A and B are shown apart, each in its own frame.
Chain A
Amino acid sequence: MCGIAAALSIAGAARVESLRELAGRMARAQAHRGPDGAGEWDDGRACALAHRRLAVIDLSPGGRQPMQDAGQRYTIVYNGELYNFEALRAELAALGHRFTSRSDTEVLLAAWGQWGLDCFRRFDGMFALAIYDRLDRKLVLARDCAGEKPLYYARRNGMLLAASELRALASCLPGGSPELDARGVFDYLALRYVPPPRTILRDIHSLEPATVLVVSEGGGEERRGFHAFDRVVDPPATSLDEAADALESALTSSLERRLIADVPVGVFLSSGVDSSLVCALAARKLGRGMRSFCAGFAGGDEDETIAARRIAQALGLEHREYSVSSADLLSLAADFGACLDEPNGDRSCVPVYLLAREMRREVTVAISGDGADELFCGYTRYLGFDEALRRAPAPDPRDALELYYERALPVFPPSTLKPLFAEECAAWRDDFLSLYAPVVARPGWSGPQRLSVLDYHSYLPGAVLAKVDRMCMRHALEVRTPYLEASVLKLAAGLPPDLCADGRTLKPVLRRLLERHLPAGLVAARKIGFGMPQDFMQAHRAQFASMFAVACEALRATPFFSARTEAFERLVALAPGNVNSLWAFTALGLWAQSCGLAR
């Protein structure tokens, strides 16, 4: 787990000294992602790579990056983990490759040399990488299947620049950081995140998950995909117990591979089904007694801590709790914006950030239950969709999705944004809603199945995984997600509708499996999550009002909103309408302030 940076000269437009300096600066701006080492490399001509290392497997210098293959054709910087690297190493060794370290980076490099683009289909892992090919004079950027690891890129002054974090890239762009992007702002206000390939900043792109981008020194770009998640239409019949059996096998196997590390490993434990199941399988099936960690809220009525404590006791886990306090909020107000790499309106960013800080004192790697809600249909907001479609059948499938964002997932409802951002709203409908419209048309899918596919491709990478990566990597805590593994994905994709949501019971397969390992009373009846509860926000309304005021002033002073005063004042009036819009707008303002966008 690390931070990476790359700079490529296009058509000889940039000198290698500039490339070297930029790559180094971007890497240093990401030093928090990799406190265990730093490395830089350039080819003396057209490409420079830089790396910050968080050592997790093979702590020796053998895993140092940038790393070159034996023939010195390929040089790599890589952020992530390959969980099947030992099997791949054996396969590659049988093909004649020789290895000098225990590092998965060396295996990845050999896999690229052996299989080229096809290598990515063989990987079980999370990664974002840059490989420079000295022979073909091209830079390869790639990002893992679900989008666990981030990768941003931009072209400026005859260069292609890439980095793990948006701020690092933006702050190093020649000519200064770009302005807010109107479409990015609209997406953020409507969704609370900006889906790839856009970002909140103009001209900076986020590489889409499961994508390889090859950029030649001549400037040409080739884009390829290597994975495509979708649910099965007409899945074969299966029983709840059969599905639970299959999930137990797949998830345990995935988890076992994700527990391999040369550093201490812990686990996020809420009282929810997803993380409880991960803990249960680790403890009961694999005999691993990990430390578990949970966050709660001082003064709030609704949090996870009590139930999580009981689950940990039942499983014999060494459990830690962290209570988010007023003091935390006060301290965060000053620099939370800087912790957000890209604006993220998810209310659980704060507790995850604080909990990760505490966890990092004891562990370097943490297992999480992320991805289960999108794969196994865990969000309660999915439940009304079938009924909404029945009541208002829409000939244009985009209308159905717009209704979902309007009613079920409210940040700033699109109808309120339309008068303020007419052009952006129309474009959002034409590309974002059009892109996912096929989920509405698939025969036989239930509402939860339709929306979960939409969320897997958009909300999961854009909000959930971005939050996990940034909030945790701020403290150099590596998070691993056992649900996001190929065989678990395949199993989830093949579930019939009633095993995704049975009436109002969500994730019935996970519940059935968890019931085998925990007393029934400990299997959560409903989801709470780590998000800041409304009553906590109400109890600390003075602090939140203060943060909101700071955020408003920062946004008002940006050139973007200075030129849109009417829209801005309307947003300020609308934001307190619900906790999601209030927090999303606050997070955007704090982020803008920390980036120096306010002038």
Chain B
Amino acid sequence: MLSRLASFASGSDLTIFGKEAALDAAPSQAELPIMEIVAHAAALEAGGDALADATRVRVAAYAERFSAAARPVQGINVFVYHVDLPADARIDYIDAKLSPGEFDYLDIVARFVARVRAHCRQAMIYLVTSPGARYRELAAPDVSVVELPADPAQPMYERACALLAYAESRAFSRDTVFLDSDAFVNRSLEPVFSLGFDVALTYREGPRLMPVNEGAMFLAASRPEAVRAFLRRRTQIYDLLLDDPFVTRYYGDVRRWRGGQLSLNALAYPLFPCSPYRAWEAAGARVRLLPCDTYNFTAGEGEAPSSLDRLDERHVVHFKGQRKYALALAARAERGAAAAR
């Protein structure tokens, strides 16, 4: 279905690959069970709780930017990070492949902003991007564009640092939803914060999927130190992954991709198997795991059946990977309708 959608939207033949395909056509190495990789990452031990020097300096500098960008707000905060990958920076990992250049991300982020406005009244969006990026045109009273001197070729690492920096800044004064730029708000998200947590993560099931998806996170502002401790530990694990021989041999450099999700799963590993009806602690924070089918919905992901019925009951609808062609299709249809008028 995804392949047909992609071809229809792009006007050319496309093949689905990576996690969306049953198996890669010509894998260059054997794919390991995903939980073996997560378990390995979870077992990494740091000698203390300090971040690596480069990360620490980066986070401190970014936190100043966020504090400067902080605005008073009545509703929740929404944190979204998006930079355009350099043209030569393909995402080509053994279990994750993507050609981001195929999509119009300015249109996607604009749609993201519109969805937040539609469902989360009085929310403040922190749109984090690179200096001078085209996304600054989306700045508005309810959209604070934060330009960070981040390396666009390593977006996941930079995003993890930016999120920690945000949590350590004055901007983190309200309950905050962290979302991928292609994870669209579909219901009011304020009630989620009544579930009693410091950090809520979203999970799904599938043999080739890490249980926790990084694309939607809920950070409660009632105990900010607990959230900071959680994100600091997560970033520390990210640092460990960068130098770990097993991870680098298997994935290569995880600054660009995989590292954000792997570090989060490593931290959540003691909480598996995931259940929405448990509230446990990780890194000093009260953590809830919420099902993606309700709080971070991706159609047709993993082995679980999914339906587009009752879409209005999903809190966030996530257009992961090739599903973004649906947005391209919508954009084409809207342009056509506008031209006809």
A-to-B contact residues, CB < 8 Å: 208, 222-230, 232-236, 395-398, 430-431, 434-438, 441-444, 453, 457
Contacts and interface: CB of A to CB of B under 8 A. Distances in A.
Interface stretch (B160-168, B249-257, B289-297): B289-297
Contact of A438 (B195, B273, B306): B195
22 contacts: A225-B272, A225-B278, A226-B273, A228-B273, A228-B278, A229-B275, A233-B293, A233-B304, A233-B306, A234-B293, A234-B304, A234-B306, A234-B309, A236-B305, A434-B195, A435-B279, A438-B276, A442-B291, A442-B294, A443-B293, A444-B307, A444-B313
Given A397-B191, A431-B196, A434-B195, A230 B310 contact: no
A558 to B, nearest CB: 31
Given A396-B191, A441-B294, A444-B309, 11 more contacts: A208-B278, A225-B272, A225-B280, A228-B277, A230-B291, A235-B305, A434-B195, A435-B277, A438-B277, A443-B313, A457-B277
A438 B291 contact: yes
A262 B273 CA distance: 35
Given A222-B270, A225-B271, A436 B315 contact: no
B277 A436 contact: yes
A91 B339 CA distance: 69
A234 B188 CA distance: 22
B136 interface: no
A197 to B, nearest CB: 11
Interface of B: 188, 191, 194-196, 270-280, 290-291, 293-295, 304-307, 309-310, 313-315
A235 B273 CA distance: 20
A438 B294 contact: yes
A397 B279 contact: no
Nearest to B289: A228
Given A225-B278, A230-B277, A444-B310, A430 B270 contact: no
Contact of B194 (A224, A227, A434): A434
A395 B276 CA distance: 19
Contact of B274 (A223, A228, A437): A228
B314 A443 contact: yes
A232 B293 CA distance: 9
Contact of B275 (A228, A431, A442, A444): A228
Given A236-B305, A438-B195, A443-B293, A230 B315 contact: no
B308 to A, nearest CB: 9
Contacts of A232: 304-305
A233 B277 CA distance: 15
Contacts of A223: 270, 280
Contacts of A444: 307, 309-310, 313
B74 to A, nearest CB: 16
Contact of A224 (B270, B290, B305, B314): B270
Contacts of A436: 277
Contacts of A396: 191, 194
Given A233-B291, A233-B293, A395 B188 contact: yes
Residue among B277, B279, B305, B314 with the most chain A CB within 10 A? B277
Given A223-B280, A225-B275, A230-B291, A441 B196 contact: no
Contacts of B295: 441
B195 A437 contact: yes
Contacts of A438: 195, 276-277, 290-291, 294
Given A222-B270, A225-B275, A398 B293 contact: no
Given A225-B271, A225-B275, A234 B191 contact: no
B196 A430 contact: yes
Nearest to A236: B305
Contacts of B196: 430-431, 434-435
Given A225-B278, A230-B277, A397 B306 contact: no
B313 A397 contact: no
A227 B273 CA distance: 6
A230 B292 CA distance: 13
Contacts of A228: 273-275, 277-278
B293 A442 contact: yes
Contact of B315 (A434, A437, A441): A441
Contacts of A398: 194
Nearest to A233: B293
Residue among B188, B196, B315 with the most chain A CB within 10 A? B196
Nearest to B196: A434
Nearest to A453: B277
Residue among A223, A226, A235, A441 with the most chain B CB within 10 A? A441
Nearest to B286: A431
A431 B288 CA distance: 12
Residue among B276, B313, B315 with the most chain A CB within 10 A? B276
Nearest to A232: B304
Contacts of B195: 434-435, 437-438
Top-5 shortest CB links A-B:
A228-B275, A434-B196, A443-B313, A233-B293, A234-B307
Nearest to A437: B195
A237 to B, nearest CB: 9
A234 B194 CA distance: 25
A435 B263 CA distance: 26
Contacts of A442: 291, 293-294, 313
